[in-house]
Structure 1
Amino acid sequence: MPVFRKARDLFTGWLAGYPCWAVIPAFLVLFLWGCAPEEPVLEPEPVDIPPLFAPVDGREVVGIVQKDLQEQGLDSWEDLAPALEKSLDYVRTRDGDQKAVCQPELCLTWSDIKETLELFIQLLPDIDRNPELLKHYFDFYAVNPDVLLTGYYEPELKASREKHDDFRHPVYGRPDNLKSVDLGQFHPRWKDQRLYYRLENGEIKPYYSRGEIELEDALAGRDLEIAWVKDPIDLFFLHIQGSGRLKYPGGDYKHVLYADRNGHQYVALGRVLVDLGFLEQDEVSMQSIRAVLQENPDIKHELMAKNPSYIFFHLDDQGPRGSTGQILTPWVSVASDPEVIPWGSVMIMDAELPEYQGQKTHIQGPVTAQDTGGAIRGRHLDFFCGFGERAEYIAGKMSDRADIFFMVRKYGKN
């Protein structure tokens, strides 16, 4: 029987080298264990998992959307056109016949998403006058269950082009010895997975972790520094956000954008701080994590190293850019898991955002998927809040559920 074989392997490995008088009692135990009646295996109770997409009446969605999109920083629906054109530019690079998403209740090709975007952009001036057009030209599918909505923003860091006493923490560009390979070419089960590594004496090794880079200076002396920043905690949050702005002493700016990653799994520092007793679960936010790091200067680097994932950057005059390569639009662009919500998709979002300085923000309008992130998996969207103090505050506090309605063009409607 399988249990006996597993036990035998364990015992024989453990008993190797022991004298016969010690082995015999052990084999008696093994024999009796193997001959004992097997306990019945209890089948787990089935769990009802709701379908990813559920069709909803277009009238419900029209009742949600706001004719006034000022909460999203837009004066009209027509102002959405630049963001949607960026999504369309990306979708046009994909093979139209390939499946973009395929679930039992909804299966779309990239052509379906392209045609949805094209029609939506064409109708924007008319939707300003008549939002009812949405239910006439589009079908809507609720993403089930409620989607986890978090936020991200474009942080600003004080930086220098040269290292000196006030600016001692490097922003690294992509190292030449960072290698990666698409595992999907070896087996379909590894589709869209990459292995990141380095070669050492001809052997494949995991690339350096955050701890090795920041605590052991694994990359020092390789001329990889593209800037130096003042605050290591700010640098840590730059890694979490994936891009930002560097403000130099003379007042000029540069965008610092994602170039690559070390391939280590992302570990949420908030969860680590809860496990270590620094925070309660309901206290976790970007602001509370920052406070713990500031209050514990002697161990802040060790705490940050609990997240082994590390990001490499490059400088640009424009940004930030999402995973589609397009510049993101505040309060419109979202990061998604592309296996669930394909990039370029258009959705209607109904979400209450954290209150800022006594002001509530309720988003009830269109968003489009243009980015992703290491922590974005499954039914999870990350809402791009832009730049500045308000964006930083709302993004840092945002972690709630939102109603998301996937938009698909109705065919036969022109």
Structure 2
Amino acid sequence: MADGEENLTISMVLGWDLAVPGKVAEHVDESAKKLKQELFDADDQVQKSEPWFGEQAGLSARTISKGYRTDGETTAGVYAAMSKAIQEGCESIGKKIQTVRDLISDVENSDYDLFYEENGAVKSRESNWETAAPPWGIVSLYLKQGEINKLDLKLKTALWEVAQEDERVAERVSQCIEKLADSVKTEMAGDYTDQGLLDILRKYQTKDSTKDGVMWPNATQLEYVRKYYDPTFQPKFVTAEEAAVLNELSLVEQVKFLTIQKDAKAFGQSNKYTDQDEDAEQDGHGDAARHMYWNARMTQEFGEDWAERYTTAHEKSGGNVAAREAMDLYNNKLGRAIGLDKTADDATIRARVLDEIDNGKAVVIVSGADGKTPQLAWSKDTSVHSTITGPGVGIPLPGTM
């Protein structure tokens, strides 16, 4: 319901119309039932064909039909699971939004003329001099500050819980796609004539996380990050596995990690490829540069094993587009190889990354023969202007990592 890069505000969550996703859930559930019935009817006709087609050809047709029905019913089950996840998500998010509303009411009905800001901070319109006036004096000031602190913490926590639940619901819906039959996933991956690219597509896929994602960093880590990295830093929703690997780092190392991540993002946004076409930043040559540089720096700082475990965990979100997952994981590996040279300075790393991309060792994403399916392509053989940005969620391939 919210953009993953955008921090939630009070006005934003109060403006959500949960009836809209509720309607979507109803339509998805209706589609599941319709698909299941159509599969049954079609297969039923084929299975009844034995009086007319009793030989080997008929048996083969009935066997194939049964397989199609099984895979189709699995797809219908995915639709039904998605519908349920959306419905339950609307209910859970709705309850958390109601908590925000109740706390806002407490703020507005306070005796100390309190108000709230969009980030959940609670303040008073009364000056301390006004509050400390007779007859209660300094006692009133202590009472006011105590109420401000209490409501401030509660409202910020309630807003944070809405943000976390919103991300969790989106991830649960995406995870439903992972339950599609492997035959369906493979069929949707696109057509490849280059065996090397097909091998990369199949090999560089992660197994989806089976746990709920979490907000990282936690409260203690966040305090340190805001003090020594960025006072405006906001927690991000990550996979449970990703958080576990990040938590292996010390607080000092976590700040270093965020600094490297920031540097990599800047490099991905501004390089010779994005100078030619700004869209190269997403799933193109610029994106390859970001991933390779990021992994090289992390390998230098934290070691190859940690960098590999972290970046693999980073890709475990549900419904990750198969070509994008393979692109990122493969280019990550190229970057880690560069980072094994501990003596390479920042300029050397950047130069080696660009050289790898120019020499065709990296992969990017282009449109498949059907004009829609994202497919891998070698960076050297692909114009910067030919890459595409894949959809946010897509049909994954079976995980191998």
Q: TM-score normalized by structure 2?
A: 0.26
Higher helix residue share = 2
TM-score by length of 1: 0.26
Bigger relative contact order (CA 8 A; separation at least 6): 1
The structure richer in strand per residue is 1
